[in-house]
Chains A and B, each alone.
Chain A
């Protein structure tokens, strides 16, 4: 606690309050003010989350920075917040991205600026809430609430087919959530009237009920991750969303689903998790291999990165369900790294799109001649996406593959194909877009990235390289929590 502030509450509510403040500026003639408030709000919100990292006690897996207040007495629902090594990094990641998104939309968004900025700040607060909530209903409220700003972001500022994409996004996610709600009601009654997630983790549940609970949670989280075959909303949503929306979707929202597996599915239904692990691993490997191949054929850059995200998230779920410490830690590092890398790639595509207004690979070629600095950054992030050693992309993938060798050689073999496919689709796209001769007038008139964009890319480059060269500051935070989670998973709860 710094100055006695309830840090998690501040991390949740500060951006939301700023978001409402921005909404109050109203009309577009006040856009400069809306932008400034958004920047101040998002930077402040990031700064207040820093103590979460520095004051974090790395030696325990217990919940820290806990806040607990009675909320709805009738149902014994509490305003219960807390973080452990698994969740704390995602709050930081999320708060780190919000200012970047605000800066990225600084000039590009010209209509309804206040609403755009407000939506991102409110969503940032809500996402922090998802990661910090320890009460199931509180979690559910944040989980659903994050749909509303995203729905609006895709639908208002998105591309030509935005309405279809926004609807698909919302209904897909809602389907999963509602089944999760049924599971929560079951757990509430089974536990004798508690909505504490930590109580659920300790509670004995018969095997058949565990399987049903697992499936209900699976529907909610697998849609979000997204896992094959529930992934089809993602390419649509990504393609149609504005740059900022794609960044938050890829960097944070997908992580929410994976986080759900670690917080709900696996600890609450460990026996079901073990018995269904084969299915989960199969689906993950299909995502890694098949979706990787699908990515190879894409003509649209955003779609390509979207499919690459699905493929990379396959790694994450693979890491979870091989139940060893390498797999899980690697998966968590992969989540963080993918946050940085996919976010950065979407920002790169955004930079090109803002100038040329096309996402098609064929409309580019020879960009390096006109935008050398941009080409360098883009190169770094593409390399990271293909898992080059020294970048953050390598760390997670390598550790997960190491973990899966321990579990089964063929898992590792199939997972490792991503090093080939990932390099193939990313670098091939990079080659077609950036290298070669200048192909058309649009490219000939390109100008290199400005100061604003340089700041964004530099910050991300530092993160990607930093994490690739020295991942310890990240892995030491989650180490104890992961170990204890694995011990917990090894115990039967029937």
Chain B
């Protein structure tokens, strides 16, 4: 009993793991229409996880399992947001998956396993647990991309994703082994101490750092390690694309915070320079290439690359201001991205993917409300006030400016101007063009309610962003306080 009570902060992960097993078994006994039972069980699990995470929250930073696992405010906030993102993704994608026969036990289990992976990534404080979380997430996602077995494009995407993902994991592991060699530990705090006290070989450290940053960049999908993103986003079933494009970015933010910020703060001069190159390249290539896309999933993929550039810009600026703004950016991005992919899912129907940007033509005539929601989402991604996307960009730019990266700020501003064009084009198609089909948009009440909440949240959080901003700043501050 005493051992179990030491695991108190990790109850949410344990509960999730148990529930995955229960759902897997329950799935064997449900067939056809009664799939909604397992669906409800999943939503219940996510709700349960959030309640547990809130209930087990304690002020301060707690280490358990020999410093493998850390529980702090940032991890709790990120986890809660991940549950929310996964839960929203399930609501959006249920009809889509059911009509395509993909709403299977495998999907349910893999989704929850990927969530578990994210949670471990967010709460890991050792290279081993970090890596385990990352692989649990990645392996689940590889399999999910290939869920549509008879689709050539999905299989190709899964292969690409797997091979490049494996390469990235290799790079990351190589980097970790270098750091292990330099500091003699896999524990993040010990590594930090070793670096701070200068007992380790600096050139070996930086050498390892390069590999770690490359691995992270691969996983995050920033230029020049972004090649898999567009293909995977396009090839995967939209629901899976949505999963890949949303909650894991929160986990990736947590991952970078743990490795680079908590573990290698003294090496910031080195990694911030590397991140600067990645950030500027991502914003440039992402925004420029997105212009040429005719597939909206591909366009959103390139837009993701550009957004990740902004996220990195926040992180490389450093300080509470920088990390807080990066976290705020990640949250804003996930919210917008859920809405964007949610819209694609809403417009799709059996035998029709709605993944061409031309499928948005004349949406305003078919459904003014949906068009208005998409307008909010697009303006938010473009960073036009009064939407959350503006404050996300604003706080990152402010942090970067304070850190003295004026040139990068100006570059970021120009690339977001270029980015505005392709978001505007979607608005143009919806409002200014005539629809290509007048097929009635059939919406489930739950997903249409959710898209309204999603769109209005983008607007309301843009009008009153103060609370979310403070939450991000405070959680980053508390997590870094003791380091």
Residues on A facing B (Cβ under 8 Å): 23, 26, 71-75, 112, 115, 137, 140-141, 144-145, 147-148, 151-152, 155-156, 162-163, 166-167, 170-171, 174-175, 178-179, 181-182, 185-186, 188-189
Contacts and interface: CB of A to CB of B under 8 A. Distances in A.
A143 to B, nearest CB: 8
B21 interface: no
A26 B372 CA distance: 12
A26 B368 contact: yes
B432 A163 contact: yes
Interface stretch (B109-117, B288-296, B395-403): B395-403
A118 to B, nearest CB: 10
B401 A74 contact: no
Contact of A167 (B385, B413, B428): B428
B87 to A, nearest CB: 27
Contacts of A151: 424, 427
A23 B401 CA distance: 40
Nearest to A70: B466
B165 to A, nearest CB: 36
Given A75-B398, A185-B398, A115 B409 contact: no
B416 interface: yes
B386 A181 contact: no
A162 to B, nearest CB: 7
A74 B470 contact: yes
A71 B466 contact: yes
Nearest to B418: A171
Contact of B379 (A137, A148, A162, A175): A148
Given A181-B397, A182-B397, A155 B417 contact: no
Given A167-B421, A178-B417, A179-B413, A189 B428 contact: no
Given A72-B466, A163-B432, A171 B421 contact: yes
B468 to A, nearest CB: 9
Contacts of B409: 182, 185
Q: Which residue among A72, A74, A137, A148 has the maximum number of chain B CB atoms within 10 Å of its CB? A: A74
A189 B402 contact: yes
A147 to B, nearest CB: 7
A75 B398 CA distance: 10
Contacts of B410: 182
A238 B47 CA distance: 53
B420 interface: yes
Given A170-B420, A185-B409, A74 B473 contact: yes
Interface in B396-442: 397-398, 401-402, 409-410, 413-414, 416-417, 420-421, 424, 427-428, 431-432
Contacts of B394: 137, 181, 185
B469 interface: yes
B48 interface: no
Given A74-B466, A148-B384, A181-B397, 13 more contacts: A72-B466, A74-B395, A112-B364, A115-B368, A141-B385, A151-B424, A152-B427, A155-B428, A166-B432, A167-B421, A167-B424, A170-B424, A185-B409
A163 B466 contact: no
A162 B385 contact: no
What interface size band does chain B fall in? 35 or more
Interface in B129-174: none
Interface string B435-475: 00000000000000000000000000000111001100100
A166 B432 CA distance: 10
B132 to A, nearest CB: 35
Contacts of B414: 178
B92 interface: no
Interface of B: 364, 368, 372, 375, 379, 384-386, 390-391, 394-395, 397-398, 401-402, 409-410, 413-414, 416-417, 420-421, 424, 427-428, 431-432, 464-466, 469-470, 473
Contacts of B417: 171, 174-175, 178
B420 A174 contact: yes
Given A148-B379, A155-B428, A189-B402, A72 B421 contact: no
B431 A155 contact: yes
Contacts of A167: 421, 424, 428
Contacts of A162: 432
A75 B432 contact: no
Nearest to A212: B406
B466 A73 contact: yes
Contacts of B384: 144-145, 147-148, 174
Contact of A182 (B391, B413, B464, B465): B413
B432 A73 contact: no
Contacts of B432: 155-156, 162-163, 166
B156 to A, nearest CB: 35
A332 to B, nearest CB: 28
Closest 6 A-B residue pairs measured CB to CB?
Answer: A141-B385, A72-B466, A155-B432, A74-B469, A178-B413, A144-B385
B415 to A, nearest CB: 10
A185 B390 contact: no
Contact of A185 (B385, B386, B397): B397
A179 B417 CA distance: 10
9 contacts: A74-B469, A144-B384, A148-B384, A166-B428, A167-B428, A170-B420, A181-B394, A182-B409, A189-B401
Given A148-B379, A182-B413, A141 B473 contact: no
Nearest to A152: B431
Contact of A141 (B364, B386, B402): B386
Contact of B431 (A156, A174, A175, A185): A156
A144 B462 CA distance: 13
A134 to B, nearest CB: 17
Contacts of A137: 394
A71 B395 CA distance: 15
A170 B470 CA distance: 32
Contacts of B395: 74-75
Contacts of B385: 140-141, 144-145
A490 to B, nearest CB: 31
Contacts of A185: 394, 397-398, 401, 409
Contacts of B473: 74
Nearest to A158: B432
A285 to B, nearest CB: 30
Contacts of B413: 178-179, 181-182
A71 B414 CA distance: 28
Q: Which residue among B410, B466, B469 has the maximum number of chain A CB atoms within 10 Å of its CB? A: B466
Contacts of A186: 401
Contacts of B416: 178
Contacts of B431: 152, 155-156
Contacts of A182: 397, 401, 409-410, 413
B465 to A, nearest CB: 6
Contacts of A155: 428, 431-432
Contacts of A141: 385-386, 390
Contacts of A26: 368
Q: Which residue among A145, A163, A175, A178 has the maximum number of chain B CB atoms within 10 Å of its CB? A: A178
Contact of B420 (A75, A115, A171): A171
A414 to B, nearest CB: 35
Nearest to B393: A181
Contacts of A189: 398, 401-402
Nearest to B432: A155
A188 B372 CA distance: 33
A145 B384 CA distance: 7
Contacts of B379: 148
A219 B466 CA distance: 29
Given A155-B431, A163-B432, A167-B428, A145 B398 contact: no
A196 B473 CA distance: 23
A148 B469 CA distance: 25
Contacts of A175: 417
A338 B431 CA distance: 32
Contacts of A75: 395, 398, 469
B306 to A, nearest CB: 15
A141 B394 CA distance: 11
